Amino acid sequence: MMDYFYLAFAIVCEVVGTTAMQASNGFTRIGPSTVVVVGYGLAFYFLSLVLKTIPMGVAYAIWAGLGIVLIGISGVIFFKQSLDIPAMLGMGLIVAGVAVINIFSKAVGH
């Protein structure tokens, strides 16, 4: 069960790092730039722990799918970016894909 905690933490760290990257203004602002480096460092460290127990393809599908959705939400909240209907529909399909993997895939190792 810790593997999914680590995966969730890795995803959150990646989302924080990517959000900070937008705020770093091309790595010209030291605070957000530091958050990018720490966020990605932690994200990849915890993803490496996840890969000990969850198959790489499954872990990466969950990581990428949920990361895309969370980054989209982050852009709306922190940077006043907007998502149109096709973007939201596509993100909904990504979430559905992640759900299918977690509910039905034997590779997940329930």
- The lowest-confidence range among 13-17, 32-36, 66-70 is 66-70
46-53: which pairs have CB atoms within 8 A and are 24 or more residues apart? 46/6, 46/7, 46/9, 46/10, 46/13, 47/6, 47/7, 47/10, 49/3, 49/6, 50/3, 50/6, 50/7, 50/10, 52/3, 53/3, 53/109
Please check the confidence at residue 108 and state whether its pLDDT lies above 70: no
Please check the confidence at residue 1 and state whether its pLDDT lies above 90: no
**What confidence tier does 110 reach under pLDDT thresholds 50, 70, 90?**
low
- Host domain of residue 50: 2-108
Tally the domains of the chain: 1
**What confidence tier does 105 reach under pLDDT thresholds 50, 70, 90?**
confident
| Residue type (1 letter), 69 | V
User: pLDDT tens for residues 42-80?
Assistant: 999 999 999 999 999 889 888 988 999 999 999 999 999
Whole-prediction pTM: 0.85
